[in-house]
């Protein structure tokens, strides 16, 4: 079943300012303190991360979108086999993500992924989903999309305002290490431009990892500038991603 969020009391095996080469929590786990600050357990992608620079979710691999269900799955089944044509995936890359049935039998249902097998290109991946399992039986005509957690393999924002912001690291993070990403509360964030106190903040449009004032329809708000910001410096933004 879906795990409840943990509060400040934990127990936590990894501190807010610690990084780890191995997972100590499920990626995406929410951590909250008594002041309402929120962090998400995340894993860096293939490039190191830096404190105060916005991160975004890794792009979804189109090879795990609209895939064929490899074998029929009855109501209550907790293991589903999905055909993956060309990508190679490490074990548990999709843990904490979701299986979405997007066409034919079972369409419209979403299942939390508890475990995913490693898969080589051209074979099938086996997903273990949360209890009580499949709610509507799947057939080999069913099509599915496998979504990784937004906090898996995060990267520094690349001035693309359409990306999903996943927060701000609190420390330097080694590539492929696990860390806590702040998503709500005060954080020092690199400014992409001068920003007015009280302005809504969004992903910067010209500097990687930076934030700027929201100034166009369709830009996602990530927080509020608590003070007027100077371009290229780090200023307090009250994040509101979660």
Two structure tokens written together for 177? 């290490």
pLDDT given for residue 8 in this prediction: 58
The residues, ordered by sequence, that sit 6+ positions from 83 with a Cβ below 8 Å of its Cβ are 67, 68, 69, 70, 124
Question: Could you give the maximum distance between any two Cα atoms of the chain, in Å?
Answer: 58
- pTM comes to 0.93
Distances from the Cα of 97 to the Cα of 63, 116, 145, 193, angstroms: 16, 10, 11, 34
Prior bond of 64 cis (ω within 30°): no
pLDDT given for residue 142 in this prediction: 97
pLDDT given for residue 2 in this prediction: 54
Which candidate, 129, 156, 120, places its Cα nearest to that of 42?
156
pLDDT given for residue 156 in this prediction: 98
Strand partners, 31: 6, 39
pLDDT tens digits, the chain, 242 residues: what are they?
Answer: 455 556 556 689 999 999 999 999 999 999 999 999 999 999 999 999 999 999 999 998 888 999 999 999 999 999 999 998 788 889 999 999 999 999 999 999 999 999 999 988 778 999 999 999 999 999 999 999 999 999 999 999 998 999 999 999 999 999 999 999 999 999 999 999 998 999 999 999 999 999 999 999 889 999 999 999 999 999 999 999 98
The residues, ordered by sequence, that sit 6+ positions from 238 with a Cβ below 8 Å of its Cβ are 185, 186, 223, 224, 226
pLDDT given for residue 242 in this prediction: 86
């Amino acid at each position: 079943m879906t795990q409840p969020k943990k509060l400040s009391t934990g127990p936590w095996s990894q501190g807010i300012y610690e990084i780890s080469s191995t997972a100590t929590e499920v990626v995406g786990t929410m951590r909250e303190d008594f002041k309402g600050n929120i962090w998400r357990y995340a894993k860096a992608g293939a490039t190191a991360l830096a404190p105060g620079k916005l991160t975004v979710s890794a792009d979804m691999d189109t090879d795990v979108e609209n895939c064929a269900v490899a074998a029929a799955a009855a109501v209550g089944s907790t293991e589903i086999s999905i055909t993956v044509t060309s990508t190679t995936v490490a074990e548990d890359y999709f843990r904490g993500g979701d299986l979405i049935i997007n066409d034919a039998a079972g369409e419209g249902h979403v299942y939390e992924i508890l475990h995913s097998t490693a898969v080589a290109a051209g074979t099938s991946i086996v997903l273990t989903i949360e209890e009580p399992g499949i709610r509507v039986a799947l057939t080999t005509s069913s099509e599915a999309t496998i979504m990784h957690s937004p906090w898996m393999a995060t990267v520094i924002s690349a001035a693309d305002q359409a990306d999903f912001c996943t927060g701000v690291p609190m420390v330097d993070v080694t590539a492929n290490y696990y860390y806590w990403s702040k998503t709500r509360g005060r954080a020092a964030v690199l400014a992409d431009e001068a920003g007015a106190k009280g302005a809504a903040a969004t992903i910067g449009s010209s500097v990687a990892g930076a934030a700027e004032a929201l100034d166009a329809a369709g830009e996602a708000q990530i927080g509020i500038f608590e003070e007027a910001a100077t371009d290229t410096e780090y200023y307090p933004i009250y994040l509101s991603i979660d």
